[in-house]
Amino acid sequence: MSLPAQSVRSPAHGRSALRDALAAAAEDTVVYDLDGIGRQYSALCSELPGALVRFAMKACPVDEVLGHLARLGSGFDAASPQEIAQALRTGVAPELIHYGNTVKSDRDIVRAHRLGVRDFATDSPQDVAAIAAHAPGARVFCRIATSGAGALWGLSRKFGCAPEDVPSVLGAARDAGLVPSGLSVHVGSQQMTAGAWAEAFDTLAASLEALNRRGIVPDRINLGGGLPALGVLDRRGRPLDPPLDGMFTVIRAGMERLRGLNAAPPAFLIEPGRHLVADHGAIRAHVARLTSRHRLDGTREDWLYLSCGKFNGLYEMDQLQYRLEFPTHPAGPFTDAVVAGPTCDSDDAYAPEGPVRVPRAISSGEPVWVHSCGAYAAAYATAGFNGFTPLPYTCVGGAAPVGGGA
């Protein structure tokens, strides 16, 4: 199957600071385009007026990226005391950081509280009791489970309680001297349907009504992450093409509905991870080798091995395809090959049913640009699996906006 090398909705065409940096790199590196990330942040703020952004820093815990977002006014969703400390180093006030992980030890809570964080996610009475003991008086928001349907990664099992548990979890928080301050959902990462948000708003509405009946009036609704990257391809190499405009329409309508339904209009938070950074990061990798061999069934298969893969930059390569560009061979001729990373591990490969069009004449050492891998790429790199250490990174752009930051 021959496939387009690039999606039209991505920033891969034409000249850009990102492409210039990829072209200038003589060695493998991850490049982040801070201005692109800034534009994405501003576009999101204009699409969802009234929603406060708390960047899910797990998607890209790179100091320069966090600093740039902080200057633009973003806060942070942190998953550990270590992330809280990193977020604070950007200079944001602790009030702009929440501890969004429902999984935390007593020690984690103590440390987060000492660092000044007062907003904690929760989903169980046990976690509520621990927060009350180690962060007395803190504000808690209850994460409600969603089905995760429609997402490439549904986060449904590990996080969130059933809607019917919400009143008892937040009731226990109130009884323990905490502030039952809010609700949160996450529709699943790389969510592909607007309907998932419609469902989440139905759940939020029903929970708000149940809480209001018990005299609990949350002041914040956290809409979580899940907004998609636009430039990645599915496992077969087809553009994913998520209905982003439809998602924003549903989210705006949902916010309006909840404002009218709660006893006092709540504030809204949103925790985008991949949507802000995925399409504004790319890797300059190189070709390890293009090979051709027969499979056991007698068919011939070409393989393109890259210098980076699942364990050093392309963690999500088993669920999707990153678009590849071969700057030294733009015009082919091409062959269809399975793309794989450099390790001795068979998971380190694109799905076999989605061969990629690669230049027949490409040789070991030639550059390959891997697009739309600014999210969960560097962050998931192993410390040295098979000896492959994490890639260095470079940031381009990011001059402080005129007039200063937040």
Ligand X SMILES: Cc1ncc(COP(=O)(O)O)c(C=O)c1O
Q: Which residues are catalytic?
A: 344
Taking the C-alpha atoms of residue 73 and residue 378, their distance in angstroms, rounded to an integer, is: 24
Taking the C-alpha atoms of residue 105 and residue 87, their distance in angstroms, rounded to an integer, is: 20
Nearer to ligand X, 59 or 130 (CB): 59
Smallest gap from Cβ 374 to ligand X, in A, equals: 11
Q: In this chain, which stretch among 219-227, 233-241, 308-316, 341-349 interacts with ligand X, using CB under 6 A?
A: 219-227
Which residues, in sequence order, are CB contacts of 255 under 8 Å at separation 6+?
A: 48, 50, 51, 221, 268
Binding mask 49-88 for ligand X (x = CB under 6 A): -------x-xx-----------------x-----------
Query: Read out DSSP for 79-127?
Result: SSHHHHHHHHTTT--GGGEEE--S---HHHHHHHHHTT--EEEE-SHHH
What residues does 292 pair with on adjacent strands? 302
Q: Which residue is it, tokens 């027969």?
A: 294
Assess contact for 121 and 102: CB atoms under 8 A. Answer: yes
Nearer to ligand X, 25 or 320 (CB): 320
Nearer to ligand X, 149 or 217 (CB): 149
Q: Is 225 in the site for ligand X (CB under 6 A)?
A: yes
Nearer to ligand X, 120 or 334 (CB): 120
Residue ranges in 171-190 that form contacts with ligand X under rule CB under 6 A: 186, 189
Q: In this chain, which stretch among 4-12, 192-200, 218-226, 342-350 interacts with ligand X, using CB under 6 A?
A: 218-226
Length, in residues, of the chain: 406
Assess contact for 82 and 61: CB atoms under 8 A. Answer: no
Residue ranges in 95-154 that form contacts with ligand X under rule CB under 6 A: 100
Q: In this chain, which stretch among 15-23, 221-229, 294-302, 314-322 interacts with ligand X, using CB under 6 A?
A: 221-229
Query: Residue 139 is inside which H or E element, if any?
Result: strand 139-143
Smallest gap from Cβ 151 to ligand X, in A, equals: 8
Core vs surface per residue 213-250: b (16+ CB within 10 A) or e: eeebebebbbbbbbbbbbbbbbbebebbebebeebbeb
Residue ranges in 344-373 that form contacts with ligand X under rule CB under 6 A: none
Q: Is 335 in the site for ligand X (CB under 6 A)?
A: no
Smallest gap from Cβ 375 to ligand X, in A, equals: 6
Q: Is 275 in the site for ligand X (CB under 6 A)?
A: yes
* Out of 11, 150, 254, 272, the residue judged to bind ligand X by CB under 6 A: 272
Whose CA is closest to 228, among 261, 274, 169?
274
Nearer to ligand X, 228 or 342 (CB): 228
Whose CA is closest to 95, among 267, 257, 213?
267
Positive or negative: CA dihedral 219, 188, 322, 62? positive
Smallest gap from Cβ 359 to ligand X, in A, equals: 32
Nearer to ligand X, 20 or 245 (CB): 245
Nearer to ligand X, 58 or 118 (CB): 58
Q: Is 320 in the site for ligand X (CB under 6 A)?
A: no
Q: Is 281 in the site for ligand X (CB under 6 A)?
A: no
Q: How many residues make contact with ligand X (CB under 6 A)?
A: 17
Assess contact for 62 and 393: CB atoms under 8 A. Answer: yes
Smallest gap from Cβ 100 to ligand X, in A, equals: 4
Q: Is 273 in the site for ligand X (CB under 6 A)?
A: yes
Q: Which residue is it, tokens 């904690």?
A: 120
Binding interface with ligand X (CB under 6 A):
56, 58-59, 77, 100, 155, 186, 189, 224-227, 271-275
